[in-house]
Structure 1
Amino acid sequence: MTTRPAPGPDGLRGFTRRPPPAEKRCELCAEPLPGEHRHLVDTRKRSLLCACAGCHLLFTRPGAGAGRFRAVPDRYLSDPDFVLDEESWSRLQIPVGLAFFFRNSELDRTAAFYPSPAGATESELDPATWQEVLGSGRLAALLQPDTEALLIRRERGTGAASTGGAGGCWLVPVDVCYELVGRMRLRWQGFDGGAEARAELADFFARVAARARPPTTEREDGR
């Protein structure tokens, strides 16, 4: 039987070294992507795709790709006059003070999600209740299906998804909402989220507030 000497430190390093992270590429054309890049919504699979600038631009055109892929816009709008009382929020049956809503064109309904330690949790949303509570609002009327979301924050409770700043209503790109969900899931600790999750939440809404503007009286095209 042939024996070999045990590998030295240099040899062991090859087994323990983590491989470098894979280069991010456009999921349509495989073009390398920078760290900050745009996204498309695959309406059939209900998923987000990373996209290069060229592919993103291609799907900003109405009807491109038979409507399956839609470019996520980059607009942030706020409603400074937004008011939502406790009774109205309770009617939506969302257990925390933070949620986002978007129109799913494939299912032909508005979907409601909120962040949790397990990720994005969908909440059952009655169409009539949505219309009465939020659907007739200023920003809801401007939402583009699949690609934009109505982000609502309420000052309520003590959990990470409920506190840390003033409440409000914003129209944002839908990928930003899933970014928030991912950050909360990464930072969440204990029952109420913990200090790191609250800090993450405060930073996120500070960035949203810095970019958001009230809708103009002119038509908003979402580009």
Structure 2
Amino acid sequence: MTSSGLRRFLQPAQRAKPGERCEMCTEPVTEEHSHVIDLESRAIMCTCRGCYLLFTHDGAGGKRHRAVPERYLHAPSFALGAALWESIGIPVRMAFLFRNSVLDTTVAFYPSPAGATESLLPLGAWTEMLESNSELSTVSPDVEALLINKNEDGFECFLVPIDVCYELVGLVRLHWRGFDGGSEAWQAIDGFFERLRERATRVGTNDG
């Protein structure tokens, strides 16, 4: 994702500034608006509803642009063993993973004070996760991600629009202080996940 695309997520997600326009047709956009991703540059563009709907089907826009979906799923018990989490190399309690169709690979990132930091994903880990959590196996390449949160009870996972993950990245960059983040940062992070739980449709997974 480009740095200019990330900067918009230092503010609450999908909130348009007064006078902001669609980045595709220049029509004014509403405060609650949609996003389209440029698959080549990874830039996330604010769009009007009309432009958004043009790219909701595979193959639209010469296969370069794709609309970011608007579904939210929550697996409160996520079959992901501690050994697998450690093998991904995530030093914090949260990470998001998605399939990059342009590079034909699955990538893992975790939010940090420096932005979205990439972590190596072991061969076969993505397939293993989807096979163990079939309710989340319909995650769409490029535009949806699996956002994993490690808590006291184990792991929970959200299938979310990719822009939601960058909202979390922006939130961490905005609030993180010192080595452990500070109470303000963790209050903001906990609030972020609580809002996701309230918005998402709960799905059952096998314990693992």
Aligned to 2:83: 87
1:96 deviates by 1.3
**RMSD across aligned positions (CA):** 2.0
CA distance in 2, matches of 1:106, 1:24: 29
Query: TM-score, length-normalised on structure 2?
Result: 0.83
Residues 1:62 and 2:50 aligned together: no
Q: Is the 8 A contact 1:43 1:69 kept in 2?
A: yes
Unpaired stretches in structure 1, ≥5 consecutive residues: 1-20, 157-164, 217-223
Aligned to 1:15: none
AA of the residue aligned to 2:170: G
1:130 deviates by 2.9
More strand by share: 2
Structure number with greater Rg is 1
Q: Which of these residues, 153, 173, 180, is aligned with residue 192 of structure 1?
A: 180
Question: Matched residue pairs, number?
Answer: 187
Aligned to 1:7: none
Query: TM-score, length-normalised on structure 1?
Result: 0.78
Q: Is the 8 A contact 1:92 1:130 kept in 2?
A: no
Q: Is the 8 A contact 2:108 2:120 kept in 1?
A: yes
Aligned to 2:193: 205
Aligned to 1:182: 170
Q: Which of these residues, 19, 23, 31, is aligned with residue 19 of structure 2?
A: 23
Q: Which of these residues, 126, 138, 158, is aligned with residue 122 of structure 2?
A: 126
Of structures 1 and 2, the one with the larger relative CO (CA 8 A, separation 6+) is 2
Aligned to 1:135: 130
Secondary structure of 2:20's aligned partner = coil
Q: Which of these residues, 61, 67, 72, is aligned with residue 68 of structure 2?
A: 72
> Deviations 1:50-79 (Å, cap 9, x if unpaired)?
111110011112211111110001100122
AA of the residue aligned to 1:135: L
**Structure 1 runs, 4 residues or longer, greater than 4 Å off:** none
- Identity rate of aligned residues, in percent? 51
> Deviations 1:174-202 (Å, cap 9, x if unpaired)?
00110111011001111111111101111
Q: Is the 8 A contact 2:79 2:155 kept in 1?
A: no
Q: Is the 8 A contact 2:87 2:122 kept in 1?
A: no
Aligned to 2:95: 99
Residues 1:41 and 2:37 aligned together: yes
Q: Is the 8 A contact 2:147 2:159 kept in 1?
A: yes
